[in-house]
Structure 1
Amino acid sequence: MKVTIRDLAHALDARAWGDLERSVTGAAEPGAAGPDQIALAMSPRYAEKLSPGGAAILAEGMDPEAYGLAAAIFAPRPRLVMAGLTRSFDPGPDIAPGIHPTAIIDPSTQIGAHASIGPFVVIGADVQIGARARIASHVSIGRGCVIGDDALILNGARVQHDCRIGDRVILHPNAIIGADGFSFVTAEESGVEEIRRTLGKREVMRAQSWERIHSLGAVEIGDDVEIGANATVDRGTVRATRIGAGSKLDNLVHIGHNVIVGADCLICGQVGIAGSSVIGDRVVLAGQCGVSDNITVGDDVIAGGASKIFSRVPAGRVVLGNPAVEMRTRMEMDRASRRLPRLADKLAKLQKAVTELAERS
């Protein structure tokens, strides 16, 4: 795919310089960029490897003539320009237009205009597929599902019955939407219920078996959501599990039954959110965070990697650690922990001195 420097700058809403009719077919790091690629050199230390006569994306204030460039695009916000740049050169998945002859589609399914359905897809009864939706090979979609316009469902993803997926949603390979929630009950008070009531003391231990609580709810996913490979979103017990518009879930994320995730959240890899918790808008949960069941995490909370959240977090708070506490408090706790060996050594010396004084008296 060829694009001129002029058109690329226009797509990135950025200022261009030099030979604006020069064509490029992709992007690369400065040391590896070929003659038909644009180099990414958005700081002076990267620009040292630029080839004279080439094209590059530079930060505002850098001088393209000093690097001998033929053309340049200036990035006022480099990371944002990266989003537009990669979008311009991404060819997307290889899904042929139309419906592949190996797809198995119930006659009651409604398929929107210009939708594409790949090989070995299975679609159940009363499903609605939006306009221009693209469904890759080996996807299954259960009865009664609604898939929005321009959705992209990639290889091997599973959407169970009665789920609703908004416009422009992306499901990456092997994502599972709408599996049953992990919800079980015992005939008498279980050990877990007992220790919650007694705060850890065991009173009676007896043989018990678990009875399934069936999941009658569904999953509702808002517009512009992206769900990573092998991520799972469980269906609700009697109401829907919900993922708000614009939220992004990384690979291997697990969203439990009845969870509500707000709009524009960023949920990173290996995060687990237990049942019936509520996550506010614009929350960021870094990799391997865990959120306990039945708690609320307020709007705009940021949780650092591997944080474990066991209680309510007020809006706007930055938390870290296990258990998660305010970041400043956690840093003070860590500093204190590092001082413990020295404090233990001082204490041992004080104990020795006190013992010697006692022996003399």
Structure 2
Amino acid sequence: MTKGAERYRLSDIAEALHARLYGDGDLMISGAAEPAMAGPEDLALAMAPKYAEGLPKGSARAAILWEGADWQALGLDAALFVPRPRYALAGLTKRLDPGPAIADGIHPTAVVDPSAVIGPGAAIAPFVVIGPGVTIGRGARIASHVSVGEGATIGDDVLLHAGVRVGRNVRIGDRFIAQPNASIGGDGLSFVTPEKSGVERARETMGDQGELLRQSWTRIHSLGSVVIGDDVEVGANACIDAGTIRPTRVGTGTKIDDLCMVAHNVEVGEHCLMAGLTGIAGSTKVGDRCVFGGQSGVVDNIEVGDDVIVTAATKVLSNAPAGRVLMGYPAVKLETHVDMYKALRRLPRLLSELRGGKKAVPKSGENG
């Protein structure tokens, strides 16, 4: 069960969600829960008939229901109806989520460089370290054990959860949210060999490394940092590396899940979505409104157009035109992949039929 910090009248929740309210609007709600686990002050989430089966097991007095449901027959005192229940869930959980408890002001154990500028209403928790020349926007909330490197700029109403690392000179817009241990602005995988490397030669020749050399790697330092737009969210343990010379960029509204990797010099457009374990290799450009399923990957130095959907575990190895839905390894159009998979499944039967139908070829002279 999810409990908020406050109690709300059901009628106020209905107004906030633009929901139709039936029954007792004066009921007090303090949380949301699955029907079978709901208490008397929980709003049960029975958004489809299959979920309503759990209502008798709980003690909810009110629920969000699907269109056409008979709320009184379900034994409820009140019900909310919304056109798109899952969208309403976003508004409901936002209202009920108090966020991390961070006291106003700067905690005595925080280390804040005297040259840093802290906006009004900011809350900085214990053991935070804020470097020289940092700017923190108004209303920002920074949880414990966060570090912000020198020269970084963080916008208004930002929330950095515990353990987040923001590197030097990173620029972050307003309303940014980073989950625990996200890392923004670390050095990228930029290394070079004194002579042309085996990888370079293999790429040029499509597989031949040529003479094998004893080579060592020398770092190319990351000077470009990271620039992030407004309303971006980054999941726990996700990493966005600094650019080499120009900055790595993440556009406004983009949401990045846990354990994702955005490499150096990458440019991600606006309102993209990356599920867990997505990796975007260096210097790739991603358009607006792209969606990447879990464990998907994109190679370096290519372009992914606007509105591309990359399904789970798909590996994109070449440029992807706008609006394409991709699946497989290597990535192809979804419908093409489905046809290929169907053909692959037919292969054993086809081979069996070929073996059963072939005729013996007589040896020379046998038909003399």
Q: Could you state the TM-score of these two structures normalised by the residue count of structure 1?
A: 0.97
Correspondences of 1:258-277 after superposition (within 5 Å): 258-277=265-284
Q: Give yes or no for contact 1:105–1:123 (8 Å, CA) kept in 2.
A: yes
Per the TM alignment, residue 347 of structure 1 is displaced from its structure 2 partner at its CA by 2.4
Correspondences of 1:229-268 after superposition (within 5 Å): 229-268=236-275
Cα 1:254–1:359 change in 2 (3 A) is farther
Q: Give 2:13's aligned residue.
A: 8
**1:46 maps to amino acid:** Y
Q: Distance in 1 between matches of 2:45 and 2:156?
A: 34
Q: Give 1:132's aligned residue.
A: 139
Q: Give 1:142's aligned residue.
A: 149
**1:193 maps to amino acid:** E
User: Residues 49-83 of structure 1, C-alpha deviation per residue, up to 9 Å, x if partnerless?
Assistant: 32488211112222212223211110210110111
Q: Distance in 1 between matches of 2:103 and 2:366?
A: 93
Q: Which one of 209, 216, 235 corresponds to residue 202 of structure 1? A: 209
Q: Give 1:32's aligned residue.
A: 37
Tell which deviates more after alignment, 61-70 or 296-305: 61-70
Q: Give 1:191's aligned residue.
A: 198
Q: Distance in 2 between matches of 1:67 and 1:126?
A: 60
Q: Give 2:226's aligned residue.
A: 219
**SS where residue 11 of structure 1 aligns?**
helix
Q: Give yes or no for contact 1:53–1:68 (8 Å, CA) kept in 2.
A: no
**SS where residue 354 of structure 1 aligns?**
coil
Q: Could you state the TM-score of these two structures normalised by the residue count of structure 2?
A: 0.95
Tell which deviates more after alignment, 32-41 or 163-172: 32-41
Structure 2 unpaired stretches of 5+: 1-5
Structure 1 unpaired stretches of 5+: none
Q: Give 1:354's aligned residue.
A: 360
Q: Which one of 299, 317, 322 corresponds to residue 315 of structure 1? A: 322
User: Residues 89-130 of structure 1, C-alpha deviation per residue, up to 9 Å, x if partnerless?
Assistant: 112111111110000010000000010001011111010000
Per the TM alignment, residue 235 of structure 1 is displaced from its structure 2 partner at its CA by 0.3
* 2:144 is aligned with 1:173: no
**1:127 maps to amino acid:** V
* 2:53 is aligned with 1:48: yes
Q: Give yes or no for contact 2:297–2:313 (8 Å, CA) kept in 1.
A: yes
Per the TM alignment, residue 337 of structure 1 is displaced from its structure 2 partner at its CA by 0.7
Q: Distance in 1 between matches of 2:122 and 2:285?
A: 34
**1:17 maps to amino acid:** Y
**SS where residue 329 of structure 1 aligns?**
helix
Q: Distance in 2 between matches of 1:37 and 1:121?
A: 36
**SS where residue 65 of structure 1 aligns?**
coil
Q: Distance in 1 between matches of 2:27 and 2:124?
A: 37
Per the TM alignment, residue 238 of structure 1 is displaced from its structure 2 partner at its CA by 0.6
**SS where residue 73 of structure 2 aligns?**
helix
Cα 1:357–1:143 change in 2 (3 A) is same
User: Residues 131-166 of structure 1, C-alpha deviation per residue, up to 9 Å, x if partnerless?
Assistant: 000000000000000000000011111001000011
RMSD over aligned CA atoms reads 1.5
User: Residues 200-250 of structure 1, C-alpha deviation per residue, up to 9 Å, x if partnerless?
Assistant: 123222111111111110100110000000000000011100000000000
User: Residues 260-303 of structure 1, C-alpha deviation per residue, up to 9 Å, x if partnerless?
Assistant: 00000001101111100001100000000110000001100001
